[in-house]
Structure 1
């Protein structure tokens, strides 16, 4: 059973750490400096470690003190979040919400959905971050994230909602195909200009092909061009510079208009999974729960 004794001394300790002295902490807590000092000393005695390094000139956290400070701040923030959840009674989608999305997918697919939601819910105040880097939802205090790909170890405190999988197709512009011909086999690609996704060091990503046994086969291609941005690769295809493997969410409007056409359809294959992710504690708030359902309805493939 957890004892309330574990909470004693934490507030004086945190104030002392933040302000750098017992005297200043005492002023903020409306206590005497002696009372704050004794409270911290009792806490150190109970923990069996020195939380501060004391000298006549300075008061600084010890290594153990820094670790304990970080834990206390995190736990208190979680308590504040829990209180906010219980205090929030709104049934409407309103208030501030921080959303993290991948750059290209966010601009092309998530942003239109969010603009619709902002029109439907005038009190919604989204803060939207676009980035292809890994976003730590807890460290950066993100309410909801859209992720392409699933991590090998999904944190237990993180909720997830599968939206579907990408569909990868091979495609080119009609002007390119009129000039170079249409590839009909994988071997034909060797005679074509390929536009591949380039890693940060410039090396091309392998292409995926649907095999006859239903499995997915990876093959290296020798590209004419490597491009480290999805929308820029699409622009290269639209310019008639070659064949690329692209997700349908990236080019669906161009496919509909005929500006880009699919080739090698029998080799099309599923790509990475798409997910909504969120800290489970945030799901208790009405706005997060509503927003998750609204985004699921609009983004599910």
Structure 2
């Protein structure tokens, strides 16, 4: 069997795995259902494994099929990368680029970085949304997602780059500390008014505290005021209503300007990770490579060194 024939079977298998049915894959590949079914049958016979569990209602990959899919995706990506590298040297980033960011982080940090990118690449047309839900880049058709928090493992169709972990600090307004004193320990801190984050179901976010080398512990406290938005918390703290535990990226400028004071620095605690997440199928486009490189150089948080892209 020629290499071309083997690759054709692999492309058909990947299309079925991603489309979830022979019919949808056939439409994508401009083939008949019969041709797709025969290609999968020949592939299963060649590898000696059943790749799909078939019923009248659904099509699922077997464990062997899932492992084979991951390998096939890497092979096809490497082939695609080799072809694109031959043409990439003279390509100027251009075209529409859909980006999604967390609302507050995006406004404070993402937008300045994106505007600088847009000035550098006038042929790129960014379409930017700001959402605090976890969007699915594939399902929602997003090119690049800036995500705070997320899974330990990403689906095979996605690539990611870790840009550090946020750090959580306790902070208060100078006027509040003048009236109530500065706590010198966590026990003293518990006696102060707390400005807490609240969810729609009525629950509140706990204070998370690191004690030496031990894992951080979570403490549920009573709130002087409970707010469901991070910038609203900052406003309440700045107004002198109490102490809050907030991400440094949210308050660092106010701390530098003296509008807020970081207290009990020994209790500063690692928070959620910051990732760039994008579709592997789009990662070799010049506009994507340029944006990932730009964001990786401008959107670090916390003290962690940026990691290379996964996969």
TM beyond 0.5: yes
Structure-2 change in CA distance of 1:88 and 1:266 (3 Å)? same
Structure-2 change in CA distance of 1:265 and 1:3 (3 Å)? closer
- Over aligned residue pairs, what C-alpha RMSD do you find? 3.3
State the TM-score, normalizing by the size of structure 1: 0.73
1:167 Cα deviation after fit: 0.9
Match for residue 148 of structure 1? Answer: 148
1:215 Cα deviation after fit: 2.9
Unaligned runs of 5+ in 2: 1-5, 16-21, 40-54, 60-75, 302-311
1:117-167 Cα distance to aligned partner (Å, 9 max, x none):
111221221011100111011011111111111314411221110100101
Q: How does 1:1-301 map to 2 (within 5 A)?
A: 1=6, 2=8, 91-301=91-301
Tell me which stretches of 4 or more aligned residues in structure 1 moved more than 6 Å. 39-47, 63-67
Structure-2 change in CA distance of 1:275 and 1:186 (3 Å)? same
Match for residue 18 of structure 2? Answer: none
Q: Does the CA contact (< 8 Å) of 2:23 and 2:33 recur in 1?
A: no
Larger radius of gyration: 1
In 1: Cα distance, 2:57 partner to 2:38 partner = 13
1:91-123 Cα distance to aligned partner (Å, 9 max, x none):
323221001111111111111100111112212
Match for residue 35 of structure 1? Answer: none
1:180 Cα deviation after fit: 1.3
In 2: Cα distance, 1:294 partner to 1:107 partner = 17
Give the secondary-structure state (helix, strand or coil) at the position aligned to 2:202.
coil
In 2: Cα distance, 1:93 partner to 1:238 partner = 42
Task: Count matched residues.
Answer: 249
Structure-2 change in CA distance of 1:45 and 1:296 (3 Å)? closer
